[in-house]
Amino acid sequence: MISSKTFTNFIHGDELATQEVYEEFRNLAYFVIATYISNADDCNDVLSNTFLRVLENRQSIENAKNLKQFICTTAKNEAINFMKKEYRSVPTDLIDEMYGSADKSNDVLNLLEPLLTNKEVIVVYYKVIFEMTWEEITRETGIPSSSARLIYKQAKAKLRKELRYVV
């Protein structure tokens, strides 16, 4: 989580704060994009566009708490826009028939976000939803596999504790 000072400096265009925000949210934004796009080069292009769009619109971010959601929403929108451009010929009726018309792509992400840290969300999502191996997670995130396993274990413990109160 970035500090309120970093957030304020980011909004005012400070380069160090901008770099800190990028470092903090880069993997999460990439993860959101990768839920829509499978090609790594395309994901990186969309990631660049995402942060350009965030920089262009940073004045509209009201507070530090909204920054994470703003970045995730921007990443999702950029990925969808990319997909629309790339796959114009695919009829939307077919997509709606296959996946349904309601946008539920981030439902799991939205449930996990309040309970877990960014890294925990990424590791859990890659492990559970995409069924990636620890080596694949390391390759995608740069998190060593031993650390990813520990992060996953801690995240599971948090979720068990939180879900116990819900059920």
* Domains 1-100 and 106-167 belong to one CATH topology: no
Cα 71 vs. chain centroid, distance in angstroms?
8
Structure confidence at residue 89 as a pLDDT band (50, 70, 90): very low
pLDDT of 64 reads 84
Residue environment code for 99-133, b if the CB has 16+ CB neighbours within 10 A, otherwise e? eeeeeeeeeebeebbeebebbbbbbbbbbeeeebe
Place of tokens 């829509």: 36
CA dist 72 to 56, 66, 107, 135, 163, Å? 15, 10, 13, 25, 24
- Both ends of the chain: CA-CA distance in Å? 29
Written as six digits, the tokens of 156 are: 């599971």
What does the CA dihedral 117, 122, 124, 129 come to, rounded to 10 degrees?
140
pLDDT of 56 reads 94
CATH 1.10.10.10 is right for the domain spanning 106-167: yes
Check pLDDT > 90 for residue 126.
no
pLDDT of 94 reads 47
CATH 1.10.760.10 is right for the domain spanning 1-100: no
Structure confidence at residue 91 as a pLDDT band (50, 70, 90): very low
Largest CA distance in the chain: 47
Closest by CA position to 75, among listed 118, 116, 124: 118
Average pLDDT over residues 124-151: 84
Minimum mean pLDDT range among 69-83, 106-120, 122-136 = 106-120
Burial of 75 (0-12, 13-18, 19+ CB in 10 A): buried
pLDDT of 140 reads 77
Place of tokens 């309970």: 115
Closest by CA position to 127, among listed 162, 153, 104: 153
Check pLDDT > 70 for residue 87.
no
**What is d(CA 165, CA 163) in angstroms, rounded to the nearest whole number?**
5
pLDDT of 84 reads 78
pLDDT of 100 reads 53
- Structure-model confidence comparison of residues 71 and 64, the more confident one: 71
Q: What is the pLDDT of residues 14-50, one digit of tens each?
A: 999 999 999 999 999 998 898 888 888 999 999 999 9
Each domain of the chain, given as residue ranges in start order, spans 1-100, 106-167
